[in-house]
Amino acid sequence: MKRALVGDIGGTNARFALWENNRMHSVQVFATADYTSPEQAIGAYLQAQGLSKGDLGAVCLAVAGPVSGDEFRFTNNHWRLSRQAFCKALQIERLLLINDFTAMALGMTRLQPDERRTVCAGEPETGRPAVVIGPGTGLGVGTLLGLEDGRWMALPGEGGHVDLPVGSAREAQIREQIASETGHVSAETVLSGGGLLRLYQAICALDGQPATLQSPAAITDAALAGEPLALAVIEQFCRFLGRVAGNNVLTLGGRGGVYIVGGIIPRFAELFLRSGFADSFAEKGCMSGYFKNVPVWLVTAEFSGLLGAGVALQQAG
């Protein structure tokens, strides 16, 4: 049987690996800005691995955005993909395209014990959905459900684009300040890399402070150094994430637990663990008791999306 390739393509980076005997190896990361198409990036990966077109039997790509039809247009980068043209260009027999958070959700089934940290203690209920949510270039939300035959179902969706929930007068002011610049304010408008900068600018405007920091990384670094305004921004970011995650648990009956993934939160993990996330997560009035014993984990595994793409290939047979 020919080896397969798995890929996890986000707005900023594309990660590729080989999948053989239901295991992943030879991971490499490519900047999407450096390549005109996924075919070109995969060609560079194959060359680096000493492989040629036609050496792959199948490819599974986890992609950011809704998947349907022959052509896929990536949500947060300039790439496009035609299934037919892709298979012809790389001489592959089968291409499986799945939503990136479908892959991320499936990747949770391969987590090792040392690849997650407890945010809220609890025990996942068997047979109940788990929520997978992660701020990165955008905000991804997925659902993981165990099936009776031991397989896993990941439900794709676009939950990052729900309206941003607010739980206080201050948060309402922040939302209105952002709305004056962007119009509609989705959860992703704030809970993403660009959203962190947007949140900082809104808080500066409300408090009459100069917005001197110019990037999400600069805000994170300032918070880690103890700068009060940056700390307040990170705290508010975590509280908004708690509200969105809690809403998903209520909507889905997600008592199987919540996995916090993505590239942003691990950069300030200790601040996150000490933040008001847990309070906002369960702050649901008469339904606050619903969250008792619902576990929340911060995932530290580096390539969960790639692993999930492999699981998708494995389950597809």
Indicate the annotated binding residues for ATP.
Answer: 7-12
Cα–Cα–Cα angle for 220, 223, 225, rounded to 5 degrees? 110
Interatomic CA distance for residues 298 and 289, integer angstroms: 22
Nearest to 142 by CA among 7, 25, 256, 269: 256
CA distance 250 to 294: 11
H or E stretch including 41? Answer: helix 38-48
Strand ranges, E, within the chain: 3-9, 13-20, 23-31, 56-63, 71-73, 80-82, 94-99, 116-120, 130-135, 139-146, 152-155, 258-260, 296-299
Residues that constitute the known binding site: 7-12
Measured between alpha carbons, how far is 298 from 115 in angstroms, rounded to an integer? 9
Structure token pair of residue 101 = 């958070």
CA distance 74 to 272: 30
d(CA 73, CA 289): 42
Question: Can you say whether the dihedral through the CA atoms of 83, 85, 89, 92 is positive or negative?
Answer: positive
* Residue 171 CB-half CA count within 13 A: 17
